[in-house]
Structure 1
Amino acid sequence: MDLLPLPDVADRLGLPISRVHQLLRERGLLAVRVSGKLVVPADFLDGDAVVKGLGGTITVLNDSGFSPDETLRWLYAADDTLPGRPIDALRGDRGREVKRRAQALAF
């Protein structure tokens, strides 16, 4: 998995770094710490935008009690019902299916 430091994320999105921090606070994007630095998986970006549906999925998982690390693991875990990984389904414009599965985890 390719990981991008926050300044690279800001460059790719064409945003100031403060806006990237705001996206993280608002759960529109997810970062994890690696060697003390916050990084974002490159798969979370689609060109110069955040992958459609990612923010909503992160929010649903967070509201279900998932930590950022657990959310990351879930997004990258194979799911035979999709089929594939949730992050791939989001990138393939199947966000509704991913969100339904995330919502089912809350119950």
Structure 2
Amino acid sequence: MSSIPAAADVLDPEVEVLPLPDVAARLDQPVTRVHQALRDHHLLALRRGGVLAVPADFLVDAEVVKGLPGTITVLHDAGFTPDEMLRWLFTADESLPGRPIDALRGNRGREVKRRAQALAF
């Protein structure tokens, strides 16, 4: 079985993260499904304090934020590393305005994906 991809902790320490077992509980899925979502580039994880975790902003209620998996796929296909993807999602973009993750959470996924696709060129 392939290893679980993880970024370094490139986010501000104030960004809340959830250990993988907590993510699984919130999604009401076994932790192995979370592992698979990470391998399939539907979620991103980072190592904080030696623990594999997912940013809490990636979840809304009991679901992954709509549009996040597609955005991660676009960034991955553009050659972004997990570190670069996390930085991009959590860095303010004046043209949105705000952070791409906030735009995704605000149901503005098309705008975010358009910007991600433009980065590939």
Matched, 1:24 2:38: yes
CA distance in 2, matches of 1:39, 1:63: 23
CA distance in 1, matches of 2:84, 2:46: 10
1:70 counterpart residue number: 84
Superposition deviation, residue 19 in structure 1? 0.5
Superposition deviation, residue 104 in structure 1? 0.3
| Residue identity opposite 2:70 in structure 1 | G
Tell me which stretches of 4 or more aligned residues in structure 1 moved more than 6 Å: none
CA distance in 2, matches of 1:52, 1:64: 20
Q: Give 1:42-61 correspondences, 5 Å limit.
A: 42-61=56-75
Task: Work out which of the residue numbers 62, 87, 98 in structure 1 matches 2:112.
Answer: 98
Give per-residue Cα distances to partners, 1:42-80, cap 9 Å, x unaligned: 000000000000001111111111111110000011101
Superposition deviation, residue 36 in structure 1? 2.3
How many equivalent residue pairs? Answer: 107
- Gap runs ≥5 in structure 1: none
Q: Which has the higher helix share?
A: 1
CA RMSD, Structure 1 to Structure 2 (Å): 0.7
Give per-residue Cα distances to partners, 1:82-106, cap 9 Å, x unaligned: 1111000000000000000000000
TM-score by length of 2: 0.86
Superposition deviation, residue 37 in structure 1? 1.8
SS at match of 1:8: helix
CA distance in 2, matches of 1:39, 1:69: 13
| Residue identity opposite 2:100 in structure 1 | P
Give % identity: 71
TM-score by length of 1: 0.97
